[in-house]
Amino acid sequence: MKIVVCIKQVPEVTNVQVDPETGTLIREGVKSILNPFCEYALDHAVRLKQEFEDVSISVISMGPPQAKDALLRCLELGADEGILVTDRKFAGADSWVTALTLAEAIRLTVPDYDLILVGKQAIDGDTAQVGPEIAEILSLPQITYGIEVGLSSTRKQIRVKQEVERGYEVVEAALPALVTCSKGEVVRRAPSFLDVLNARKKCIRSVSADDLGIPVEELGLKGSFTQVVKVFPPPEKKCGRLLQNLETDQAAAEIFNFLKEKRFIE
């Protein structure tokens, strides 16, 4: 069984800056980390690998050369190989172009995949669109917000416990399929020293725009249907009025006068 995990390297939230001309994130010189939800997706894959025989895990990421660090982290956590989809032509891609690029990269590098796992969203953009779009491009059944992932005894179906507004549901889908993974109850693992050493022996291969054969006008910023035109922090909230050291009747009178002043009562 072959599992593909799509991962993303993201800037630390406190350091996010935006290019005022292009509306895209400035990543140069900013410390980056493996997107936490992608790490949860990888953890689900590793658990399946531990439970079933003949399971291999390929992690794939679209990004600049520095994204290799995130792939190496995945290899330390139990993945078998890394695939870096990198090219200047990919720069500025929105969620649709990112999904299209990753889908074509999966077709090229792991054409006989059985399951694709992705994080439910990236903490830099928070769109939660790339995973479902990959599923649509590849014509796959998809299950979103999974917190537990298991296989049927025949290994032909995926069984997922997913978050819904009122609790949880258990959903099944025929393989191949795609699952977006939420945090749920999964506790992320820490690699051992031996895992770290062994990760350096595993393969990380690169894929360029020319390898995929997608027309250049459909890649990166040129092919994107959406662009960020403005990013700004939310306005600071003013502190409320605090009543202290008052008797009950005095506090009630203060609240009454405040509500009357603001015309909440007549």
Question: CATH no. for residue 147?
Answer: 3.40.50.620
In a domain, residue 169? The reply is yes
Q: Which two tokens stand for residue 155?
A: 């290994």
Nearest alpha carbon to residue 205 among 51, 84, 30:
84
In a domain, residue 48? The reply is yes
User: What are the φ/ψ torsions at residue 230 (nearest 5 degrees)?
Assistant: -160, 135
Give the whole-number percent of the chain exceeding pLDDT 90. 56
Q: Which two tokens stand for residue 187?
A: 């506790």
pLDDT of the residue at 26? 64
Our measurement of the distance from residue 177's CA atom to the centroid of its chain's CA atoms, rounded to an integer in Å, reads: 17
In a domain, residue 262? The reply is no
The confidence band for 264, taking pLDDT boundaries of 50, 70 and 90, is confident
pLDDT 10s digits, 35-61: 889 999 999 999 999 998 899 999 999
Our measurement of the distance from residue 115's CA atom to the centroid of its chain's CA atoms, rounded to an integer in Å, reads: 16
- Inform me whether the pLDDT recorded for 201 exceeds 70: yes
Query: CB under 8 Å to 97, separation ≥6 — which residues?
Result: 90, 218, 219, 220, 223, 224
- Inform me whether the pLDDT recorded for 229 exceeds 90: no
pLDDT of the residue at 261? 87
One-letter amino acid for residue 113 of the chain: Y
In a domain, residue 82? The reply is yes
Domains contained in the chain, number: 1
In angstroms, rounded to a whole number, what is the distance separating the alpha carbons of residues 202 and 35?
Answer: 21
Cβ contact 46:73 at 8 Å: no
- Inform me whether the pLDDT recorded for 23 exceeds 60: no
pLDDT of the residue at 168? 92
Question: What residues make up the domain containing 115?
Answer: 2-223
In a domain, residue 259? The reply is no
Strand-pair category, 177-181 with 142-151: parallel
The confidence band for 14, taking pLDDT boundaries of 50, 70 and 90, is low
pLDDT of the residue at 18? 65
In a domain, residue 35? The reply is yes
Cβ contact 243:255 at 8 Å: yes
User: What are the φ/ψ torsions at residue 67 (nearest 5 degrees)?
Assistant: -65, -10
Kindly write down the DSSP assignment for every residue of the chain, as one continuous string: -EEEEE--EEE-GGG--B-TTT--B--TT--EEE-HHHHHHHHHHHHHHHHSSS-EEEEEEES-GGGHHHHHHHHHTT-SEEEEE--GGGTT--HHHHHHHHHHHHHHH-TT-SEEEEES--TTT----HHHHHHHHTT--EEEEEEEEEE-TTSSEEEEEEEETTEEEEEEEESSEEEEE--TTPPPP---HHHHHHHTTSEEEEE-HHHHT--GGGSHHHH-S-------PPPPPPPPP---S--HHHHHHHHHHHHHHTTS--
In a domain, residue 251? The reply is no
In a domain, residue 98? The reply is yes
Pick left, alpha or beta for residue 124 (phi over 0 → left; psi -120 to 50 → alpha; otherwise beta). Answer: alpha
Higher pLDDT among residues 262 and 38, named by residue: 38
